[in-house]
Each structure stands twice: as structure tokens, then as C-alpha cells.
Structure 1
Amino acid sequence: MEQAHQKICILGAGPVGLGLALMLIKELPTISIDIYEKRDLVAPEGFSIALALSQRGLHGLKMAGIEASDLKTVPLYGRGVHPSTGDWEFQQYGRKGEHLSALSRNHLHDVLMSRIEQHSSIRIIKGCQISSVNFQAGTVDVNGQQSEPYTFIYAADGAFSKTRVNMVRAFMDNQFTDKQSYNYKVEYSQLGYVEVTIKSDTLDKNCLHYWPRGSFQLFGIPDAQTNEFTGDIFMPMEGELCFNNFTKESFERFVKDTFPDLDMTFHVATNQQGKIKAHQIPNVLVYPWKYHKVCLMGDAAHGMEPFIGQGLNCGLEDCTTLLSIIQEMKKEGKQVDFHEASERMQVLRREQVDAIQQMTKINYVETSKHIDDRKFLYRKKVSVYLSHHYPDLYLSQYQLVSFNRVDYSKALAMIPIEREILNEICDLPKIEDIVNSNKRLPLIESILNKYQDKTTEIFKGTSADPSSRQVIPHFRDNYFWCKFNQQTGDKIIYLNGHSMGLQPKLTEIKVMEVLTQWKKEKDIMSLFRDHWFPLEENLYKMLIGLVGAASTEEICLGSSLTVNFHQMIATFYKPLQTGKKKIIMIKPEFNSDVFAVQSWVDVFGYTDAIIEVSVEVTEDASERVIAEIIRSKDEVSIVCMSAVNFVTGQLYDIKKIAEACRANNVYLILQLAHSVGSSILKLHEWQVDCAVWCTYKYINCCQGTCGGLFVHENHKDIMPGLRGWHGADKSVIYNFVPEFKKKAGANGFQISCFDPSQYARIHASLTTIEKFGGIEEVVKRNSELYEYVYEQVEKIPGIEIVSPKERGHHGGHMALKFPKGFKPTLAQHMSDRHIVTDYRDMNSTHFIMRSAFIAMYNDKYDCDAFIQAIKELPDFH
């Protein structure tokens, strides 16, 4: 339904007001918006200029059209606690890689304003004094003049909201004619705060620094563009040590004496008595937020103290909740009703706001009284250990608040459960050894599993949601995992499965079965009949789904990829018979493929038979191949190409390429080294003529294990170009006559006999894949990890990803492009972080780093480590 024009008013041009405007105009381009702001849109002196965005805030900005990559932020991975005695200590927030994003309020304002200015239907009126609001009429009194009526008014005018004061006054004056109850309370804690700027080249830029000193504390948040930190000193307003007892000079002297190592600039005002004039942030408890045509938003509805850092995040979540209701109305084909949407929004948000305000108070007690308590700190260390090694079973309350977007009420409900879990685990004998082992242990799993009845509802939509886990939890335990430290058992982060997969633990068992059969079985015919032929038959059935064959007659195992590639060229390349000598190849293509094609060109004495199609730039690569097929159809005999490019990781549109080959009487020989096991293949349905693959990459069978080939049933009667003993039909194989009678289907292309121990390796790997859920589950899970990494890495300034982003257009690995001289530095950088990838030259000036994210043995936390490593790269431009 086409939405009617409606005129919206927003009071306040802070981040919540501007963010709300952008969300609304993006979703409802037919509306117009007026934003009234009393300031000149620059943070005044004394106003908090440092912000910390969590996932809620970042999501809100994304809904407003602002990506994280548009912001200049500093990742905060935890607290840096500086006790009065001893060295400072880092307290990690959650799992490795989880972080808040610190940024300047002024910078966020500039980014929001730059987007606002792109919309002619949004108008900002500065320097406005709003003296009153007419709730029923939807008008505001601006600088003594009444505005035009608005469809609806959203008041995002902050913790000291005048709109809220007017709403309270309307209630007191009985203007609420519907007699609804109105709850209103503004609480001020005993604490005030003043701001300082801390200059430091030595303080860690990636944590929120905290100096606890009994009844007063200093916090410092880094600035993204300088070596400065925005500091807030919190102190009681009254009492023995309080702001009211200090003049400006005595306060500055006291602070410098307390923190002699810190270079601080003070932003302190005084009252008429010359005493410190500290700021206070009220805890606002008000409901309802909406009355007639006006609704409070953000701090105007629920101002809160900053001790859990959710003020702005919570305000932006008000906006996204409203937005989701509006989207729902549109989806139902309704005109958007701002009255109904706002009513529903406040109902949904009330419980959540109550919960985060409770958690703010709890967090204050934690930071003020326990932050340097050794027992408390050790419990935090245990919690981080659980978060990192048991992400599918445990999330702390802080993680739920800051690194997820579950309801605040669920995070509040997690507090007593988390306390129970930590009590039980911290009481274990040798708990320090368990934590220091840095390993996942069955004992801890069993304890955490006991709490699933309590946590299942809380963890919905998170990494610990049982419904979103892998088919088999902890599946990486089915593989042998390489170690970088044999003494501690610490494992590397292996992202090199595109080059050679990890060994399944089942492999050794299956290989030993074959060797034991060979050792014990005295009758060679029984050995084949009872053991090895059934093994082969079973493998062929398992391969049908892997490559998309119609039946086992289209599949054959044996020989290496290159030998099978020679076999396919020898079979389908007949230039003397057809008069067509040209071969289309893509560039870059792997050397072994080039060598194989070149060898057959040399056999026929041709010097100009190879046509190369450049696919270094992935955009329109498939279309360029198809265009060359059509252009050269009268002289092209075969197309030899990979389904996934070994450099860029691009998955070509094989269906369309195969169609073009058939239409132009050209054979297609596919090389599937980087696609089998990483992509959904439908070779029979696409009518691919033939294909070859290896089994040591995504099939995890070790280098040298025999490969496979596919020949479409359309060519079931074609004779192999290279004939071998094992390709002959079993009825004549022992007759020893020179006449070759081919086995049925693709089996006739087998050159030599199979190695049962290699078949055992393949059987172990395919069985493990089936245990995971099959190839479709593998590709789905791999793609989820790939896309997660892609979305994070593409936001990093200066990093170029040459692989496609969209699912169905990429294989298993992601390729990042760098200048050639950077390779030694990059390799050392990744090695220092125990991350295994590999590197390939792309051209004369650049190389690429390839990394694969394989869900059978990689997880999101391996991905986070990779993302962080890329963020920490030294400059290479």
C-alpha cells in the first residue's frame, strides 16, 4: 500500500533524535520531518563527549543507514583496572574479539548530520526554545510562537527533557482526561561527575581504563583520533570526601596528587560559592511515555546513570523497536499509524527499560566496591574462560547486554543463574588448573548442561541458542587439531582447509580396518568380493550427492586429479576429427591444469591453440567465458576450467557456461578441486560433460589420496582416450586378450586399480561429513562463517577482498589482496597469532592471502581472531 504523507516532529537533535529521523525517512520516504534543537548542534562544554556503542547501538545506526565502517571508533575489549597499589590489570569483557566501540559524540553527530542533509524532506530548526507542547493538538510553542500541527511528536530532548516536565504538569493539572495513571520519579544518586582530558602515549587504547579509589573513581575512554582519553571523575556530592568540599584549585591539586602519573586537563566549573559544580545524571522512571500525539524517546523516557554504558544504546533500541512495528504495519498492507505504533512500542519497551536500569545500579555496586577484590576478579576470569570455550552453553549477563540484542529482561534474569554457575565451578578442585589449561573439558560441559533448562529461553537468538547450534555440537572434536605449543596443548587457528583439510579421527580407524582385512584374509578374491568392492560401491553412493550425479554410473574414483584431467582431455579433445583445435582456459588457472592442456596442444604440434579468458576481476567473469565460447565456437573444441578459481575463490555460473557449451557444440571439462566439498554441485542437472576433482582439500583425505571423475550419462558410450586395465569390464578383465571392452559409465575411465587404504580415507571423510549433516549443511554453515567474516573485514579501511560476497557466487576460501612486498610481513604477522593461511601470487604486483572458514572444524571465534588480526595489520600502502 502506498503510504500517505504525514508530518512528524522530533524534539532534540542528539543521536537518538537524528537516528530516529533517518530510520523513519528511510522506511517512509513520503513523510516529512521537522527537528527542533535548542543548541547549535555542537556538544557544549561539560557535556559528555565520549560514547561506547554496543551491538544494540550499532544495529540502531545500521537501521538508520550508517554502517560501523562509516564511524571512526576504537575497539574496547575490556577494562583496564589501576589499583592504588601494584600494576594495572586487564579484565576482558567476554570472548576474544568481543568489544565495545568507543567514539566521539561530536564525530557521531557529524556522521548523522551528513546523512540528514541528504534528505530534503528533513528540516532542522536550530536555536529553538520549546516552552510548551499541546499534546492533543500536536503543536509546540517555539520561541513564543505556536507551530503548525504535526501528525505525531517524538520528544528525544534528553534526561532533562522539558517535554517530560510538560507531560507531568499536564497530569498534575488533570489534562489526562482519560484518567490513566501516570508514574513519575526522578532519582539522583549521591554521585556527581566532572570531566577531564587525559593525555597518554602509554595507556592501552583498547580498553576502558578505571582507577577505583574508594568513594571516588576515575574512568577514561580513548579517543579514536588522538592519544587522548576522555575522563570522568565520580565523587559523592556530600560527605567527608565530596565535590562540595573543594574549590577548583584544591580539587585539581587533590586529583593530581592522587594520580601523579596522569597528564590531565580539567573541565571544571564552579558555583557562586566557588565550590565545584558537578554534573549529575538522573535515573528517570516514567510511564506512560505516550500521551495523545506525543511520545518520549531515549533519555527523555528513561535517563540512567552511565555505569553499564547503555544509555545511547537503549535509546537507539527504542527507535528500532518502533521501526519494526512500522515495518510490520506496512507488511500487513496498512497505513502507518504513529499513535498505534508508539503505543505498542512503549508497552514492549517498559519491561526492558526497567531491567537495564536495575542492571545499571547493580553494575555500579560492582565497579565501586568489588572491582579490585581478588575473589571477584577471579570469578570474572572464570566467566571469561567459560565464554571463550563454551560459547554454545554459556553467555554472561554482560555479554547478553553488550554483545547481543536479546531482551534486557533476559540479561537481568541471567544474573542469579550466572551466580549459581560460577559458585559451582569456582568451588571445583584445581579450578585454576582448569582455567589455565585454556581447553574445553567434559567436566565443565556437564555442569553447564545442567543449567540448560534455565538458560534455553534466555539464550534464544544467540550463539548459545540450542536451535542454532551445529547439527553435532563441538564437531571439531571429530578432527585432529594441530598444535603450536606441545607443552600447553594450545591449538593453532587453522584456516587452510582449502589447501589441505584436517584429518578426521575416523581415518585411522578405517585405514586400520583395511590393513587388518589384508593381513587376515588369505583368499584374494574374498578380500575384494567381501570387503573392497563393497567399500567402493558404498563410496560411489556417498559421492552422488557430493557432486550432483544422477547415479553411481556417472562417477569414478581412482588416479590423481591431473591424471584424470589428462584422461578427460584425451577423450573429448579430437581436433583432427572435428577440425576445431582451440581450447578455452581461464586465467589465472592452476599450473597443473595449464601443464596438462599444454601437453596435449604440444602432442598435436599446435602453437596457438589456447585461448585465455582473464578472470582476475571477478565481476562478469562467467559472462566473459560465455562470450568467448560464442565468439570462437567454430574453432573451439573444449573449455577446460575450474568451477571455483583457486586465486579469487569465485564460483562461476557453471549452469550457464554448460548451456553455452551445448548450444555451440563445445565440450566442458570442469576441474572441481576448490568446489567439491565447498559448493553445491549439480553436474548431472547442469549437463556438464565431465569433471575431475581431488579429495585432500575440503574432503579432508590427505594429499596424494586418489581423486574422482564425473562423466555425464550423455557420454556413457564414449571410449576413454586413455585406456587402462581397471577400466575394462569385469567379464573380460582376466581374459588377457587385446580387445578393450569398457566398463559401464564413468567406471570405464579408470586407468589403474584402486588403493583400498585410500578408499578408506575417503570413506572416513565422507562419513564424517554425513555425520555433520551432509554437504548441504556443510555449505550452509561454511557460508555463514564466510559471510560473517566478509561483513567485518570489508569495513576495515585499506583491505581489499577480491572474492565475491554473495552466497552461491563464492567457494570455500576468501582472498585478500596485498602488494607483493608485504608478503613476508603479513606471513609473520599471521604466524605470530598462530593463524594458518596461505599465499598465492596474483600477478606481477600483488599477491593474495587465502583463508577458508570450515564449519566442521572452525567456529565464529576462529573467525573473530582472523578479523582482529586483519584489523591489527601494519600499514602496507
Structure 2
Amino acid sequence: MQFENTLGFSQSLDKEDRLSKYREQFHFPKVKGKQVIYFTGNSLGLQPKNAPSFVNDIMEDWANLAVEGHFHAEKPWWDYHERLAKPMAKVVGAREEEVCVMNTLTVNLHLLMVSFYRPQGKRTKIICEEKAFPSDQYMLQSQVRHHGLDPDETLVEIKKREGEHFWRTEDVLSKIEEVGDELALVLIGGVNYYNGQVFDMEAITKAGKKVGAYVGWDLAHAAGNIELQLHDWGVDFAAWCSYKYMNSGPGNASGIFIHQTHLKNQEIPRFEGWWGTKKETRFLMKPEFEPTGTADSWQLSNPPVLSLAPYLASLEMFEEVGMAALIEKRNRIVSYLEFILKEIDKETTGSFEIITPEDRGCQLSVFLHGQGRQLFDYLMENGVITDWREPNVIRLAPAPFYCSYEDMYRFGQILKEGILKN
């Protein structure tokens, strides 16, 4: 399609958009009395308008039933988390028994490391990406130290090539082969938070397993954003937050994936708790732990249903729309945003550079040349909610559920005004 940088053309794309009606199902902040252009669904998704009703249902059951709500609420609390498994599995390409929602992201990564980082002999090393998200770095370093190892010797970072803004798959595969039988684990962010790059998870997983390592993925920026086929790719484990592209609310519960091949393996250690035992015997208070045989076996405590309620509200929308339709719109709206950016760049004589490679999801990261924080502040003051990352990058993530093509055009005009004024 031949794009045009005009209001009329952007509005024509919105008229063709089958998902445009979902925009009305989200709350938008306002700046100067006008609805914002929202580019930070990669940090916190907008609130679905139906989310409060899901929370209120639980509040009413608590008021009217008290403890009996565990079993006699319309959606009983004791198995509330199970309602999220089916739609969540579809989002990440898993079987229903391979997923569970519990805790928060870094907590779950720590728990999964108990099972899948088991250094023995010379097989101790972990491969991760250079400058991973800080929480992942802290988690990996502390796990390595917990095993009495030195992070400087144990963590192997895949670096970008000199002068490039992205990682090359061949460099990752080469490093996996080089580390070989010293490699215990590959753990990488499936979509990099800084530049928006999507890693070739299938190829990297295959390479890691070929040398005898476990392979896991932090999918914080991937779940609800890109196509995932965790089961078919043979991924050992993964975890993701739910408050970015999945719109579940700030700091909300995390999802985990554990491949079917590990679910009934008695040799894999894990931390255990009451809610990981079989439902049939859970309330018999038996002293022996009886795992469910599903990913629920990694669940420690009863589910925080007030947190899960808005997640369920959002997942019902994902179930209705499907990832294929979301990805189709994502591809077009991100391409249109890229076109708008390049047009504005021509008009402002090279003021910025897109550093996100072609392997991408919703996010475009833009490196500003000579504009800096002043331009970011101008955008925010004029109703463009975006994200700043040091040293000079703004991240733009047009989430397909609620961003419009007209948003892309109007953003371009505000961006041009900001550059020319600053």
C-alpha cells in the first residue's frame, strides 16, 4: 500500500480498520482537555472499560458471601486463576496445562530459576543479552551468587556489533555453540525493552537445547504483542507481566509457561506451596505435596483474585479478537508510523533515527539527534504520551487495540512542530 501523510488518508485507514471499535472500550487520559495520543502500551496498557465490573463482582461476593465466596461465588475464588489459562495459552502459543498466572514477573523468574538453573560441574554458564532489563540483570546476578558462583565469570552477555543498534541472530547462535557444554541456561528478553527488537526465539531455543542447556524467555514485551509458539518451539520455560500489552493494570499478576515435557518430571526441583497441590486433595490438609501435573504445580499461594479480575477482563477481549487480527493491524499501523516518521525526518533535515530493526513488534525506538529531553517534554505537554530512555531515545508503541491511524498522523504534526520550535 502507498501511504500518505495526510489527515484524510489516516482517517480512511481507520474506516477500513476492523478493530477500530475496540478503541471505545478503553479509558484515555486527557491533556489540556483533549484525549491523548497514547504510545506507552509497552509500559502500561490503558484500562479496559469493562475491568471495574469484574473487580466489583468480587467485591460484591466478598460483601455478600464472605469466606463462602471461595466456593459459592459465581466465579469461585479457589479456582479463579483457571479461567485465565485458556485465553492466556492462546496468546503465547501454549497448551492450557502449560500456563499459570501467579505472583509478579521477577518473582516468577526467580521461582523458575529454582527449577531450570541447576549448575553442575562445568555446566554453569548463563547466556543473556547485553544490557538486559535491570530487573533481569539483578535476578541473574543474585541467582548465580546464590549458587556460590561469580557473575563476572558465569554470565555471558551477547553484545551488539560495533556501531549497530541491534543483535544479530548469528552472533547469538555462535556464542551458544562456543560456550557449548559449559552452558546451563539461555535466558533472554524475547522483545528487547530498549530497541524493540524481536529475537528469533525458535532458532535460539533450538540451538540452546542442542548443546544440552535449558532455554527460557522473559516475555514482558512480547506477550500480547507478537506471535508466540512456545510449545511448538520447545521452550523450557517463560514468564511475562500482564500490564503492558495485555492491559491488566499496574503491577499486576504474571503468567508463566512450563513445557509439557517437564510437568510430570519428578527430577525437577521447585519451591512448593499449598495451591500447587491437587485440587481433589488440597483441602484434606495432607502432609505430602501432590503436584497437579500442570504448571499450577509451581503456584505457591491462593490466587489474588482482585488482581486477576482485570486481567480476565482483558483476556476475554483477546479471546474475542484473536492474536492474528491484532498482529495484522499491528503490522500496518507500525508501518504507517514508520512512514510518518520518515516523512517528518525529511522535512526537518535528519533530526532523528529509528533504531528498531525489521524484526519488531509494536515498538519503534527513535534516537534523537540534537533534540534531547526538550523535545520529549514538548510531546508530553501537547498530549503525546510516550517514553524516554537514556541517553536520547523515545519509545513509541502504537498498541492495535486502541491506537488509531489518525493518532499516527496527528503525532507526526506535533513532532514536526516540536522539532522546529526547539
Answer yes or no: is 1:674 the counterpart of 2:217: no
Deviation at 1:788, TM superposition (A): 0.7
SS at match of 2:326: helix
Report what 2:145 is aligned to.
Answer: 602
Report what 2:54 is aligned to.
Answer: 510
What is the alpha-carbon distance in structure 2 between the residues aligned to residue 569 and residue 733 of structure 1? 26
Of 577, 589, 598, which aligns to 2:132?
Answer: 589
Report what 1:784 is aligned to.
Answer: 332
Report what 1:656 is aligned to.
Answer: 203
Deviation at 1:643, TM superposition (A): 0.5
Q: Letter of the aligned partner of 2:395 in structure 1? A: R
Of 490, 502, 505, which aligns to 2:34?
Answer: 490
Q: Between the two proteins, what is the percent identity of the paired residues?
A: 28
Q: Letter of the aligned partner of 1:651 in structure 2? A: V
Deviation at 1:872, TM superposition (A): 3.6
CA contact (8 A) 2:69 2:77 kept: no
Cα 1:530/1:596, change in 2 over 3 Å: same
CA contact (8 A) 2:70 2:77 kept: no
Answer yes or no: is 1:758 the counterpart of 2:307: yes
Deviation at 1:615, TM superposition (A): 3.9
Report what 1:160 is aligned to.
Answer: none
CA contact (8 A) 1:568 1:669 kept: no
Report what 2:27 is aligned to.
Answer: 480
Deviation at 1:464, TM superposition (A): 6.6
Cα 1:615/1:739, change in 2 over 3 Å: farther
Answer yes or no: is 1:580 the counterpart of 2:123: yes
SS at match of 2:126: strand
Deviation at 1:866, TM superposition (A): 2.0
Report what 2:353 is aligned to.
Answer: 800
Report what 2:43 is aligned to.
Answer: 499
CA contact (8 A) 1:726 1:753 kept: yes
What is the alpha-carbon distance in structure 2 between the residues aligned to residue 847 and residue 602 of structure 1? 33
Answer yes or no: is 1:612 the counterpart of 2:157: yes
What is the alpha-carbon distance in structure 1 between the residues aligned to residue 258 and residue 252 of structure 2? 20
Of 811, 817, 837, which aligns to 2:361?
Answer: 811
CA contact (8 A) 1:580 1:634 kept: yes
C-alpha distance after superposition, 1:820-872 (max 9, x if no partner): x843212222123210101112xxxx331101111221101111122223334
Report what 2:374 is aligned to.
Answer: 825
What is the alpha-carbon distance in structure 2 between the residues aligned to residue 591 and residue 876 of structure 1? 35
Superposition RMSD in Å? 2.6
Deviation at 1:564, TM superposition (A): 0.6
CA contact (8 A) 1:484 1:491 kept: yes
SS at match of 2:392: strand
Q: Letter of the aligned partner of 1:636 in structure 2? A: L
C-alpha distance after superposition, 1:533-553 (max 9, x if no partner): 56433311111210000x211
Which blocks of at least 5 consecutive residues in structure 1 are unaligned?
Answer: 1-54, 63-67, 69-96, 100-386, 393-461
Q: Letter of the aligned partner of 1:780 in structure 2? A: E
SS at match of 2:256: strand
Report what 1:561 is aligned to.
Answer: 105
**Normalising by structure 2, what TM-score?**
0.90
**Normalising by structure 1, what TM-score?**
0.44
Answer yes or no: is 1:543 the counterpart of 2:91: no
CA contact (8 A) 1:695 1:701 kept: yes
Deviation at 1:657, TM superposition (A): 0.5
SS at match of 1:874: helix
SS at match of 1:691: strand
Deviation at 1:618, TM superposition (A): 5.0
1:4-19 counterparts in 2 under 5 A?
none
What is the alpha-carbon distance in structure 2 between the residues aligned to residue 565 and residue 672 of structure 1? 11
Higher deviation after alignment, 715-724 or 859-868: 715-724
Report what 1:730 is aligned to.
Answer: 279
SS at match of 1:463: helix
SS at match of 1:715: helix
CA contact (8 A) 2:239 2:254 kept: yes
C-alpha distance after superposition, 1:574-605 (max 9, x if no partner): 113x5411111101211111111111111122
The structure with the greater share of residues assigned to helix is 2
Cα 1:525/1:831, change in 2 over 3 Å: closer
Cα 1:822/1:574, change in 2 over 3 Å: same
Q: Letter of the aligned partner of 2:6 in structure 1? A: E
Of 374, 382, 401, which aligns to 1:856?
Answer: 401
Cα 1:529/1:503, change in 2 over 3 Å: closer
Higher Cα Rg: structure 1 or 2? Answer: 1
SS at match of 1:850: strand
CA contact (8 A) 2:71 2:77 kept: no
Q: Letter of the aligned partner of 2:334 in structure 1? A: Y
Cα 1:620/1:590, change in 2 over 3 Å: closer
Report what 1:767 is aligned to.
Answer: 316
Higher relative contact order (CA 8 A, sep 6+): 2
Of 731, 740, 746, which aligns to 2:289?
Answer: 740
- Residues paired across the two proteins, number: 410
C-alpha distance after superposition, 1:191-219 (max 9, x if no partner): xxxxxxxxxxxxxxxxxxxxxxxxxxxxx
Which blocks of at least 5 consecutive residues in structure 2 are unaligned?
Answer: none
